[in-house]
């Protein structure tokens, strides 16, 4: 059969993009090999640099080609078709670029190139250029392979973003692909990503991920050339750059969740949130142990472990979020594109390299390498992958422990209890332990899949219970760490300096905590006590670091980076504590009709039913739903908030307009609206509403029919009722129909619940007789609703039903949730202060490095 060719297909652009992909992989591999050979033969350095530069330009070529295709709507290409359409606002085209796995891998590769070019220039002709850039180039080989989209035997290597729709196995057989009609069917961007935060959060986060590669590359290079003490001063500014960027990226993600998601908060211990938080915590710990090493020469093994661990945790998070193992456990996770094995190899390869370099004995190292490769080959050929993986991990852990005791230099003297290095080491240990706990909880879906168990991931309260004690200890260490000197401090002077801040924290803390936690109906329990202790210790850290900055440093900004960053971090914890522990649900239903009768998932304790024009009490407010308007695919619901004035009369206070995005292809996505005050936020989002705005009267008093696509269990929102697709009933099985070619009758059982919580049932039918579809409508005259069941979509198990409503139906209504987040601005202010403090610390580290380099 001849290949189908379409006049509208621009094949050349895909071929160009794929050529850049091939060039990127080949040049990355060549650069890695040449840098490796340069370790013993400097003649290869020039070729290695040229290859790395060519790799960088090819990555820019891939990105430029993909952007060009997105901007020009080349929907014949699968990536463009799947992540964009002509209906979306062009300002979100950047989000389309990195929405898919291929685009996010490309973004990561791009930032690695930028950092690699800067680092290569900084290290040029120095002793660290060859080993560090070898590691950089090897990472680029793996990232470039993620875009190859080729098969080696039965194993898929990467996913090609430049596949035509007709070349993609999932889409090539679809009728619109065969007809060449792509534009009208393009899926578009996920509604949750149509937010301005998603144009800046992902690139910032991936720059943070990329920055963890720099200390990792230095640590691996140090294991390679056995120079354990000489790399920290160069890597230290880079490490704090990573701390700054990754931290800001995580906080941007929290801001996006707060503004765009409807779970009612900024942090939900989601697996993908955790997967970015854990590398940051470990990187912060690594930065502090580097300072210990730089000033005192200790914590060598810990510094290497943490610097390597932060990057390996980024790789592990990549596996979790892109292998499909999380399933529905995260709203952020990607679906599996068949690269699970490749992602596992990506993680294990760098663990393998780390352990191999820790072994000094040549025979022992060769034995470990050969044994690892034999286990890999045995697993690929004969199976037993889980057992072999467990054995290999245990063996690698034992070897790492032996290497620590045998090869790494130990400190001759024990660290003093009241010394800065000891408190900084304790702080790093606290961060590491907290990271391990979060990683374990987050990895439960992975462990379930690995060991065939069915443990449920922990809920938010479980995370809070485990992490709060670590936060308390960390605040204590943050409060006192800067007052201590290296090696040994004057204990009496230390206690005297801390006393004022501690007394202020206790007094001010109790003044705040008594009305917050004690003067209410809640019983005093362990949770309340831990909240109070964390509150006081957070204030202790703020006051102590403020005192250190103003009194000890005399307000010197250049040297105050650590103190300012500590104040910011303490403010973040304080803001998180108060805004979440004192979060108030004000949307308890006060209407005569029960929200819970509308169906599963509706709760009168958290949701209020507002009928248009009615005014109901809601917490400290009176609220009125006044109407709705549609802008593009967004439907906005106008809710007026009123307060009782001094004359005991209601007066207008403010209006919120939460919206629901009515995306015809991606479904409905609610987005909250928030009223910001200095001391609180009023947060509102709609959980159920009729999205129909414009209606045209037809014969018999019915409006124009609206088509709905859904699965069994989905809900259709009429203006005066909720329609639940309860079940489907058929008179014949598929086999009976195909065998006898007899009449097939499929009945959709629709449960209809009106605003008074009364239930009705409708039974529209989908009938096939002599291969002709004959829909049979059903009408609920009491509610003025008419249903036509006219289509079944076997590919995605959905059905299509049209709904017509009579003009003179009941008033429109919405179901809404509203919360008050007290003092949440403390969190955002703390984020800004921490970022400023970290930036100041980076500038000071760079200045000191230049001074040291100049002396050498």
CB 55 within 8 A of CB 27: yes
DSSP 445: H
Report DSSP letters for 94-149, one per residue.
HHHHHHSHHHHHHHHHHHHHHHHHHHHHHHTTSTTHHHHHHHHHHHHHHHHHTT--
Instruction: Report the alpha-carbon angle 338-54-200, nearest 5.
Output: 60
**Cα 512 versus chain centre, distance:** 34
Stretch 528-549: mean pLDDT: 95
- Tens of pLDDT, residue by residue over 792-815, are 887 777 899 999 887 654 578 899
Work out the average pLDDT over 208-235.
93
Percent of the chain, pLDDT > 70?
A: 91
Number of CB atoms found within 10 A of residue 79's CB? 27
Assigned token pair, 541: 């850290």
Distances (CA, A) of 433 to 329, 416, 426, 470, 779: 23, 22, 10, 8, 62
Element spanning 54, H or E: helix 45-71
Would you give the distance in Å from CA 798 to the centre of its chain? 29
DSSP class of residue 198? G
- pLDDT tens-digit series, residues 687-716: 988 888 754 333 446 777 888 888 888 888
Q: What is the pLDDT of residues 206-220, one digit of tens each?
A: 999 999 999 999 999
Q: Is 801 exposed, middle or buried (0-12, 13-18, 19+ CB in 10 A)?
A: buried
Distance, in Å, from the CA atom of 217 to the CA atom of 239, rounded to the nearest integer, reads 11
Contact 471, 534 (CB under 8 A): yes
pLDDT of residue 735: 58
Q: Which tokens hold the place of 84?
A: 């964009």
Q: Mean pLDDT across the stretch 166-182?
A: 74
Mean pLDDT, rounded, for 364-374: 90
**Which of 91-95, 716-720, 779-783 is predicted least confidently?**
716-720
Task: Please state the domain extents for the chain.
Answer: 1-194, 224-458, 460-582+823-856, 599-690+813-820, 701-809
Please, which pLDDT band fits residue 190 given cuts at 50, 70 and 90? confident
Q: Which pLDDT does position 696 carry in this prediction?
A: 36
User: Which residue in the block uniquely carries the two structure tokens 């029960």?
Assistant: 594
Given the DSSP bridges, would you call strands 584-585 and 608-611 parallel, antiparallel or unpaired? unpaired
Interatomic CA distance for residues 245 and 250, integer angstroms: 9
Q: How many CB atoms lie within 10 A of CB 301?
A: 19
How far apart are the C-alpha atoms of 455 and 655, rounded to whole Å?
44
Query: Contact 393/352 with Cβ under 8 angstroms?
Result: no
Structure tokens at 748: 């959709």
Q: Spell out the residues 6+ positions from residue 470 whose beta carbon is closer than 8 angstroms to its own.
A: 430, 433, 434, 437
Reported confidence tier of residue 664, pLDDT bands at 50, 70, 90 = low
Distances (CA, A) of 361 to 282, 373, 393, 417: 30, 18, 20, 36
**Is residue 657 a contact partner of residue 637, using CB atoms and an 8 Å limit?**
yes
> For the residues 290-316, what does the mean pLDDT come to?
89
Q: Are 745 and 767 in contact (CB under 8 A)?
A: yes
849, 583 in Cβ contact below 8 A? no
The DSSP result for 320-346, as a single string, is: HHHSSTTTTS-SSPPPP-S-HHHHHHH
Query: Distance between CA atoms of 313 and 12, rounded to whole angstroms?
Result: 39
The number of residues in the chain equals: 856
> How far apart are the C-alpha atoms of 502 and 452, rounded to whole Å?
50
Say what the pTM is. 0.85
Q: Which residues contact 513 (CB under 8 A, 6 or more apart)?
A: 531, 532, 535, 536
């Amino acid at each position: 059969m001849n290949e189908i060719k379409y006049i509208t297909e621009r094949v050349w652009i895909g071929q160009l993009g794929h050529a850049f992909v091939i060039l990127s992989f080949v040049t990355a591999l060549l650069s890695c090999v040449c840098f490796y050979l340069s370790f013993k033969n400097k003649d290869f350095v020039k070729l290695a640099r040229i290859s790395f530069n060519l790799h960088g330009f090819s990555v820019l070529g891939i990105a430029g080609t993909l952007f060009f295709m997105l901007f020009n709507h080349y929907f014949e290409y699968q990536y463009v078709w799947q992540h964009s359409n002509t209906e979306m606002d062009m300002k979100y085209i950047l989000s389309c670029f990195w929405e898919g796995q291929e685009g996010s891998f490309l973004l990561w590769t791009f930032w690695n190139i930028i950092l690699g070019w800067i680092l290569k220039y900084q290290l040029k002709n120095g002793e660290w250029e060859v080993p560090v850039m070898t590691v950089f180039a090897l990472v680029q080989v793996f990232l470039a392979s993620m875009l190859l989209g080729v098969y080696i035997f039965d194993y898929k290597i990467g996913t090609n973003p430049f596949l035509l729709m007709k070349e993609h196995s999932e889409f090539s057989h679809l009728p619109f692909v065969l007809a060449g009609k792509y534009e009208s069917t393009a899926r578009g961007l996920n509604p949750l990503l149509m937010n301005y935060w998603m144009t800046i959060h992902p690139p910032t986060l991936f720059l943070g991920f990329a920055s963890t590669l720099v200390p990792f590359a230095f640590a691996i290079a140090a294991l390679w050339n056995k120079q354990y003490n000489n790399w920290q001063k160069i890597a230290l500014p880079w490490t704090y750059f990573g701390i700054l960027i990754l931290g800001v990226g995580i906080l941007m993600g929290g801001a996006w969740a707060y503004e765009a998601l409807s779970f009612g908060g900024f942090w939900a211990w989601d697996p993908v949130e955790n997967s970015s938080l854990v590398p940051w915590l470990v990187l912060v710990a690594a930065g502090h142990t580097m300072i210990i090493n730089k000033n005192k020469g200790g914590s060598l093994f810990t510094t290497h472990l943490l610097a390597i661990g932060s990057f390996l945790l980024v790789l592990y998070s990549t596996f979790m979020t892109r292998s499909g193992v999380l399933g529905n456990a995260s709203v952020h996770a990607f679906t599996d594109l068949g690269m699970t094995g490749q992602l596992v190899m990506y993680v294990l390869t760098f663990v393998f390299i780390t352990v191999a370099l820790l072994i000094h004995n040549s025979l022992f190292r060769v034995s470990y390498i050969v044994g690892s490769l034999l286990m890999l080959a045995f697993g690929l050929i004969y199976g037993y992958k889980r057992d072999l993986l467990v054995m290999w991990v245990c063996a690698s852990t034992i070897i790492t422990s032996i290497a620590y005791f045998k090869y790494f230099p130990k400190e001759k003297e024990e660290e003093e209890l009241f010394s800065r290095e000891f408190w900084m080491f304790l702080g790093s240990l606290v961060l590491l332990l907290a990271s391990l706990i979060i990683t374990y909880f987050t990895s439960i879906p992975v462990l379930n899949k690995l060991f065939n168990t069915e443990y449920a991931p922990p809920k938010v309260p479980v995370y809070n219970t485990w992490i709060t004690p670590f936060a308390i200890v960390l605040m204590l260490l943050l409060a006192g760490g800067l007052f201590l000197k290296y090696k040994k401090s004057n204990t009496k002077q230390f206690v005297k300096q801390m006393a004022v801040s501690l007394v202020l924290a206790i007094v001010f803390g109790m003044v705040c905590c008594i009305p917050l936690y004690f003067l209410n109906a809640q019983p005093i329990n362990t949770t309340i006590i831990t909240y109070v202790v964390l509150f006081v210790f957070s204030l202790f850290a703020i006051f102590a670091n403020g005192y250190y900055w103003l009194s000890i440093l005399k307000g010197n900004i250049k040297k105050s980076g650590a103190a300012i960053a500590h104040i910011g971090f303490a403010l973040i914890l304080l803001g998180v504590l108060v805004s979440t522990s004192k979060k108030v649900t004000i949307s308890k239903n006060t209407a005569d009709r029960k929200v819970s009768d509308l169906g599963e998932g509706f709760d009168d304790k958290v949701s209020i039913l507002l009928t248009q024009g009615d005014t109901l009490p809601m917490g400290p407010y009176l609220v009125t739903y006044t109407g709705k308007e549609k802008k593009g695919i967004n439907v906005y619901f106008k809710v007026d908030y009123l307060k009782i004035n001094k004359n005991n009369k209601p007066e207008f206070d403010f209006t919120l307009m939460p919206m629901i995005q009515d995306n015809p292809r991606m479904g409905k996505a609610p987005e909250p609206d928030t009223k910001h005050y200095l001391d609180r936020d009023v947060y509102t989002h709609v959980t159920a509403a009729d999205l129909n705005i414009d209606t045209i009267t037809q014969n018999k008093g019915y409006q124009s029919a609206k088509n709905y696509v859904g699965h069994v269990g989905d809900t259709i929102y009429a203006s005066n009722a909720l329609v639940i697709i309860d079940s489907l009933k058929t008179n014949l099985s598929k086999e009976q129909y195909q065998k006898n070619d007899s009449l097939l009758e499929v009945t959709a059982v629709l449960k209809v619940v009106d605003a008074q919580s009364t239930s009705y049932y409708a039974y529209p039918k989908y009938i096939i007789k002599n291969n002709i579809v004959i829909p049979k409508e059903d009408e609920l005259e009491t509610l003025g609703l008419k249903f036509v069941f006219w289509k079944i979509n076997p590919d995605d198990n959905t059905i299509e039903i049209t709904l017509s409503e009579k003009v003179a139906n009941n008033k429109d209504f919405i179901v809404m949730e509203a919360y008050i987040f007290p003092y949440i601005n403390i969190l955002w202010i703390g984020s800004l202060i921490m970022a400023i403090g970290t930036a100041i610390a980076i500038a000071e580290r760079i200045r000191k490095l230049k001074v040291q380099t100049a002396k050498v």
